Amino acid sequence: MTEKPTSGKNTSGRGQRDLRVRVKTAKGRKLSSTLWLERQLNDPYVQRAKREGYRGRAAFKIMELDDRYGFLKPGARVVDLGCAPGGWCQVAAARVNALGQNPKKPVGTILGVDLQEVEPIAGCDIHQLDFLDEDADDKVKGWLGGRADVVMSDMAAAASGHKGTDHLRIVALIEAALAFAFDVLEEGGTFVAKVLAGGAENEMQALLKRSFRKVANVKPPSSRADSSEKFVVAMGFRGRAEDPRDEDPHPEAED
């Protein structure tokens, strides 16, 4: 159960009410679950997502990344890997004009794929699919009717509780998503994916910089301060026809 906000002086000493919602640990509930619930109840992005109809606070991460780098353009074809619960798809659908609400701008396409079934999202084509399947890239290109302008992923590997193991798992997941993007992206396209603090591993970072004209590693404001996540935004895919190492040995990069 939750406790009502208690009155009393806050740390600023101004006598203002403490409006933080506190959660008692119920019988049978782990302390970690209680702390997670308390954090959710007090998270302004969780509250804002509910008010604005988004399926999760992660929606604001892709908003902030797109506000900065502008890759979700009207008419764009976007693939969202591991799209559940669908917040990124919701944001992308509005920004690429997937519903055609602005008749003066081209209509985009949002294709979401996930291992689990996802509730329908207006303006989005959602498929239950393992993107690691051998024919997944061909299926996606078939559904899109061509290649994608953006491949994005907010996926995270299941946590084991061991920092080193979790790091290796998420790097492996990013590598798989990047390999998929190489097969699916249109030349000039963008790859956006969750990574750990410090960006991708050195070898992968080098590959990204060879394969894209601009690579940034950024922590959006809506990402929790205590989270180790960052996002890589790689723009200007060089394509598959030529070896990316033959072009521009000094690609634009941003840390």
Active site residue 104: no
Binding site annotation covers 130? yes
Whether the predicted pLDDT of 135 surpasses 90: yes
| Residue of 50, 105, 194, 230 with catalytic role | 194
Other beta carbons within 10 angstroms of residue 176's beta carbon come to 15
E runs forming strands in 98-207: 109-114, 124-128, 148-153, 185-196
Beta bridge partners of 112: 80, 126
Mean residue pLDDT across the chain: 81
Domains and CATH numbers, the chain: 22-52 (no CATH), 55-254 (3.40.50.150)
Percentage of the chain with pLDDT > 70?
Answer: 74
Q: Which long-range contacts link 60-63 to residues 24+ away (Cβ below 8 Å)?
A: 60/220, 60/222, 61/154, 61/220, 61/222, 61/223, 61/231, 62/87, 62/88, 62/91, 62/92, 62/152, 62/154, 62/192, 63/91, 63/222
Binding site annotation covers 123? no
Give residue 215's identity as a one-letter amino acid code: V
Across residues 110-122, what is the average pLDDT? 96
Q: Which residue has the higher pLDDT, 247 or 223?
A: 223
The token pair that represents 221 in the structure block: 């404001």
* pLDDT confidence band for 243 (50 / 70 / 90): very low
pLDDT of res. 201? 74
Secondary structure element (H or E) that encloses residue 231, with its range: strand 229-237
Cα gap 193→178, rounded to integer Å: 9
pLDDT of res. 129? 96
pLDDT of res. 203? 85
The token pair that represents 215 in the structure block: 């690579």
Binding site annotation covers 154? yes
Whether the predicted pLDDT of 244 surpasses 50: no
Across residues 27-45, what is the average pLDDT? 50
Collect all residues with Cβ–Cβ distance below 8 Å to 181 and sequence separation of at least 6. Answer: 148, 151, 189, 191, 237
Binding site annotation covers 164? no
Binding site annotation covers 18? no
Whether the predicted pLDDT of 18 surpasses 50: no
State the Cα angle at 201 between 198 and 204, rounded to 5°: 130
pTM of the model: 0.77
Cα gap 210→201, rounded to integer Å: 14
pLDDT of res. 253? 55
